Structure 1
Amino acid sequence: MTIVHRTSTTTRVAFIGNSLPRRCGIATFTTDLQQAIAATGSADTAIIAMTDCGRSYDYPTSVALEIQEATLEDYVAAADYLNRGGFDVVSLQHEFGIFGGEAGSHVIALLARLDMPVITTLHTVLAEPTDAQRRALDRIIDLSSRIVVMAEKGRELLRTIYRVPAEKIDVIPHGIPDFDFVDPEPVKAKLGFGDRTVILTFGLLSPNKGIEVMIDAMPQILESRSDAVYVVLGATHPNLVRDQGENYRDSLVERARHLGVEAHVVFKDQFVDRETLLDYIAMCDVYVTPYLNEAQMTSGTLAYSFGLGKAVVSTPYWHASELLADGRGVLVPFGDAKATGAAIADLLTDDARREAMRKRAYSTSRSMTWESTAKRYLASFETARRGDRLKLIPPASTAMLANVPPPAMQLGHLLAMCDDTGLFQHAVHSVPDRHHGYCVDDNARALLVACALNKSGEQRLSEPLTARFASFIQHAWNPDTRHFRNFMSFDRRWLEDRGSQDSHGRTLWALGEASANDASPSRRRWAASLFIAALPTVEEFGSPRAWAFTLLGLDPYCAAFPGDPIAERHRTLLADRLLALLEQTETEDWVWFENGLSYDNARLPQAMIATGRATRNADYLAAGLRSLRWLIQIQTSPKGQFRPVGSATFGEQRKPPLAFDQQPLEATATISACLAAWRADGDGSWTAEAKRAFGWFLGENDLSVSLVDPETGSCRDGLHPDRANENRGGESVVSYLLSLAEMRQLARLSGDRVKPELRALRA
């Protein structure tokens, strides 16, 4: 077999799944995705085709290798072929029924042997898997660098049932052809349905499709539209034919005859090519998917019909519930012929409503074209490649992870510091201080905590509390000034019409994080919308920290919404500004962005590291790493302990930092920056620095005083030269909890069984 090695300018992508001319939805999807990726001109592609037992297919040249689904040796040979073939990534199309072994477990033998990252598209995510299915899917998820699902429901199930980290999941809708919005009448004449009102269902025929429900609805529809015809386009599923012959199709024909509608139900028993399929969809007036099972994550036929601008009536299976929400289609109960008939009859007798629904579907679907889908897959591939290039901690360094584990996550003090408005700014000892009210800064940090607690192994913050932080941020947005307000009195009066540049940037950071990692799909959409609305304001800012906070929000936002031109432009703009500052200010002994040090210092290098890693910009990454190394050096006491830049330093110009007062947010920023550096260059010394900074909270500091109460999760506001500050305000508790969440995530990497989790965290 000839191996084609990749060139230096292209990515080699192998797709594992069924392939045309095999007749099934996975085969159509795999082929369409492969062709869309190839059409971008930025990738060499090949398909590793799964062949079902006792079958053979005349595969096209795009199929480089085939695997007999029941032959385990074929899976091992395929892994060897991919490893020797210079492939950069593998895109696995997963469905339980297409791989051999118990619950499709044979494919694990292939994935476990691959040297390149695997991006797995899950066409089904089961809410109630069998034990065998759960074991197989857990292992496939572990072996995958990224997981793609086509609906938000898939993300939800992966997070809640399979405990997949949010940052590992991409939601990429099913692709659709870029087809013109056409009048059905000319195509009806072409296909022999002129002067008829056409209802269409397309797909391989099987009992779970609910065709009998639609046939039962036809008498009711004919009362309103006597010219209606229901076209059922598609061959019977090959597996059904193999086991039962055409008994199911025959039963449908008999059902139509018994109801007296046989002249109005047309069965087209054929597996049509794409051009013919698009013609049939184009000619229909209403497309219907009367499926009987809620647990359908995606439907290619639904996506295609929606994308061609059809009025769609469907049962509320998961894909349809999302795609057709907000009036983009009509949902009817499962198995309800009466409701189905009424919905279709209403559409067929209301031309204006049907046409409006068609136009809304067509305009909404433009982001789902195969061209757009290919770009989103390429972005996911590149994210996986970047993560795969990072080296895991060498065995000699993993000993650093074997220390005493961080404390348990306790949220009692955080809850005590909140009321029905949000998080209080200050406390007197551990008692919330209502006198100073609230600020958007602390509520934004609290939303970051909520997102951090969505990671595997942590208990989520309660939904009402997370919603409260989000609501505070929403209320802080002043659309008249295009700024966020910051300070609010206890009686809920805003004390300004706009807050500081830094508070605006920090709020964008929280929104960007929430747009990717909030537990609620609705809130993720809210966060993304407000983020992009408030982002342009940052262009007028001169604060380097506001730039850095915004870049930290752009990092997850751009990962969740790749290719957003507004976000990408601002990311480049702000990173270039920070880089220019460093180049202007840096000397041999002052490797910093400004002439003085201030608060939240480590967020500046963290922003450059994260941005450099995400954009593959070596200059950004190098700037972040060298400035962080310098900062770490000056934040180390003579005894080797972490000593954050004290607040007494603020305003000093190019002088060594003063020791006091020391504040929790400096330790938190340093921990995050060091872990970002570790993810970027794989140097295990960065994790040691993160652990050293975290030790500051626990008493490894100048006063040997612990700042935290592990029973309540409270944190003192800082260290004075002679004592700890006994007040435990909002900023301190969220700073500690953010750091604790990161260190607990790091601690989970210890032990042999968590190697896949380590890879996920590093990805």
Structure 2
Amino acid sequence: MKIAFIGTYAPRQCGIGSFSQNLFESIRDLTPSQASENIVIAINDPGNTYAYPPEVKFIIEQEDHDSYLKAADFINNNSIDVCIVQHEYGIFGGQNGVFILTLLHHVAIPVIVTFHTVLKKPSYNESMILKEIVRAAEKVVVMTNKAVEMLRELYEVPAEKIEMIPHGVPDIRYDRTMVRQELGLTGKHVLLTFGFIGRNKGIETAISALPNVVEEYPDTIYIILGKTHPNVVRHAGEEYRLFLHRLVKKLNLEDHVIFLNQYASQNDLFKYLSASDIYLTPYLHEAQITSGTLSYAVGVGSAVVSTPYWHAVELLDGGRGKLFNFNGEQQLSDILMDLLAHPKKLESMRHCAREYGKTITWPKTGGGYYALAKYLAENTPKLVIKKDPALDLNVLPPLRLDHIERLTDSAGIFQHATYGIPNYHEGYCLDDNARALLMMLMAYRRTKSERAIKYIAIYLGYINYAQNADGTFRNFMGFNRNFLDKVSSEDAFGRAIWALGYAMAHSPMDAYYQMARQLFFKAMPQFEKLQSIRSIANTIIGLYYYLQDNPSDEGMIELTRKLATRLHTEYQIHRKDGWHWYESLLAYDNALLPLAMLYAAEISTNKTFEETAFESMAFLASHTLQKGHLSLIGNQNWYRKAEIPSPFAQQPIDAMAMVLLYLQAYVYSGEPRYLSLLYTSFMWFLGENDLRISLYDFETHGCCDGLQADGVNRNQGAESTLAYIISYLAVQHTFEKPYCKFIQDESRNISTDSLAYPST
């Protein structure tokens, strides 16, 4: 069995790096016959390189997204049987370490993930990432029963997916008398804290507890062994260490507190542990689920005094240590003096710790990991399916319009939001009110809700207010309800025409129909003046819906044909071998162009339009659907032939256009493969994307504004949420007759007094 270990790794000075190395070596020692088989994939922090040992066969650069994909390819191509990943949010790239999801979803073998941190109050991103890791992994490992409880209760992780394997401890023993002599500590009462230094370690509490102790026991010294954490140095320098030095001087403890500003080797560390009388972890907060330093201290048989953070409460149970309250310097002082006054209490604590330490040596911990890896290698199919090729409606969130209501006032829908809060500074725009009208009309078709009728009137009213006397529109309106431009972009014009056409086809009442018709025909003289191909495409779609209600209007059919011919002409101008597209680049809203050609083909029964639509659709798919999921053209740098497309920033409106394109392709052709592509495109919103994280926010019921290079853009503007909901409604549409061949349970249909649509 060949195992790949993924995480930080020595000589990088990092607690998880030490853990990774100890785990690797413990399994190597258990299986000497395959010692050369196992490999390490190390994570490099930005700006640093390390002289890794020979077992490190691949290096992931923390903030380089591509290196995670390359690592997955390396694993898949090197006969690896199982991956063991060490997870901590800060060691992987992207927002909250989101890049690890890319790797996990691309490896084709079983994965075990060890969680070194389980947060009680995670941010939205942290929660989503952990849940997605759980979904991708075959097993997750934690080191305490408290962590098991939190995973089950807070993150709803199935019990059968969780394994509890304690933190391992090196089986290193030193003669106490000899090391005290070697370190010059003979005749001293030695207190010790070790590990990276930072404010959350609460060392000031321990220092403040010392004056009474040294007055009673003047031979007491407190050794603080460890460098300042690199992240602390990066952001705050040595401010905390200098604060501790000042506190020592203020309390006249210069002869009793020793700072050893070094990253101790494992052997030196165990010498200090063996030489100490009492080990202190005066951390300031309970939210630490795993402490490697605490495990080492208990494992070597130290008497430990600690604040009651989660790992300490569990590990020091059974007489293995003493607890004192957070910031409880007086309580700590009393405990220290009591223990120093009663050596038998100290020895009893050491004995209990030593006995427990025998059960968590690295050979035993490594054996637990090895047994788990062996079981998975023998019982998990070699090719693990990480992504669903088709959509399962049972796992979709309910359709909720809360965020749309939050963004809408009596004038219309606001363009932007900061996170999930409307941004009044940016005001309103025609684009989004047109999309909102389209979405609410689609929602009304499903809900027949009175609330939907109310919002349809608001958005239709905005379009009416925005229209100029010549039929053009204004676009941007400030919060003061004054327009900021005189004429909108052609793109905004086209989106308004699409929405108005749909309103004529699916209006809930005659008054709305008449208003939409009046606005549509007032704008019609502008149709043939349009120059933008996307505006032409949007207008063709609007004409298509108008003709659904007026199929015998020969004038509009001819106008549709003229506009489609202009699109086709652009296609002929730019079409080259290997480049089957309407312009010299792939930019934004790309799928709307073949979608419009499909609509035009249906209206005019023109085979040339049909061939152009399907050929250009195939070309677009070749650049966006070759990874098994939708990977959109990012708008940082749009894609030109022979250049490299931008992987980010990917926009929800592009995903929506793909969903609508494949819906119409299925309607037009009846080929089931287009339904599969529709579902694949829709799942971009729910995490089947390049970063493997959902853009849909399950708390606000909005949609994030895009996929950035380091994660999702958590702002949730109107465009993004409308794109998600329109796509959702399109997907739901495919599960109605005549689109599906099975009969749905009619009792699952939505009630007419709510806009919330439950998943089917």
TM (norm. structure 2) is 0.50
Larger Rg: 2
